[in-house]
């Protein structure tokens, strides 16, 4: 009896402490969803070899507060900067551009992660409902810092427009 109670207790604790999953979308999905429910888009631009990108994936984006903020107020898109697939977004087809024999950068990653003529990973870009860039930041972003950034973005006028719907 004690054993089954302990298992139930830990199961309930695990549910409350966060099996919450971050909802991720493709750019195509976001465009369709934005027609009925416009929200800013948070784009996480990363590469498979970037250790700071992996750190953000395993810490920042696993935080329950971040997950709730993103799921409830934004569309979240992950973009591998070395993705070789074409991506159609905002009436344009973005393609992978080789820069060497086995290297290259996707045009959409270049468009969203270039700050002061430099691209670095990871980059967070937040797009407004018209797909203009509201915010960009290169580098690893700690959980508390990303919470602060997202909370500030929630104060932008777009959220006032959506609250009346």
Structural domain boundaries in the chain? 21-163
The pLDDT value given to residue 161: 54
Distance in angstroms (rounded) separating the CA atoms of residues 165 and 24:
24
The pLDDT value given to residue 156: 78
The pLDDT value given to residue 155: 85
21-163 is a CATH 3.40.50.300 domain:
no
3-state secondary structure of 42: strand
The pLDDT value given to residue 100: 87
Q: Report, in angstroms and rounded to the nearest whole number, the Rg of the chain calculated over CA atoms.
A: 18
Cis peptide before 122 (omega within 30 of 0): yes
Question: pLDDT 10s per residue in the chain (165 long)?
Answer: 555 544 544 454 444 445 689 999 999 999 999 999 999 999 999 999 999 999 999 999 999 999 999 999 999 999 999 999 999 999 999 999 998 888 999 999 999 999 999 999 999 999 999 999 999 999 999 999 999 999 999 887 766 655 444
Distance in angstroms (rounded) separating the CA atoms of residues 132 and 120:
20
Phi/psi-derived region of residue 15, left when phi > 0, alpha when psi is between -120 and 50, beta in every other case: alpha
The pLDDT value given to residue 1: 54
The pLDDT value given to residue 102: 84
């Amino acid at each position: 009896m004690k054993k089954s109670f302990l298992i139930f207790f830990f199961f309930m604790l695990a549910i409350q402490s966060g099996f919450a999953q971050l909802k991720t979308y493709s750019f195509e999905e976001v465009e369709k969803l934005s027609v009925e429910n416009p929200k800013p888009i948070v784009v996480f631009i990363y590469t498979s070899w970037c250790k700071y990108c992996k750190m953000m994936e395993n810490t920042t984006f696993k935080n329950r507060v971040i997950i709730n903020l993103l799921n409830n107020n934004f569309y979240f898109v992950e973009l591998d900067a070395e993705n070789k697939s074409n991506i159609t977004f905002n009436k344009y087809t973005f393609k992978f551009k080789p820069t060497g024999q086995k290297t290259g950068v996707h045009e959409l990653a270049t468009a969203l992660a270039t700050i002061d003529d430099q691209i670095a990973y990871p980059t967070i870009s937040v797009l407004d409902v018209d797909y203009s860039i509201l915010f960009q930041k290169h580098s690893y972003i700690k959980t508390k810092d990303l919470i602060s950034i997202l909370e500030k973005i929630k104060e932008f006028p777009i959220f006032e427009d959506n609250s009346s719907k």
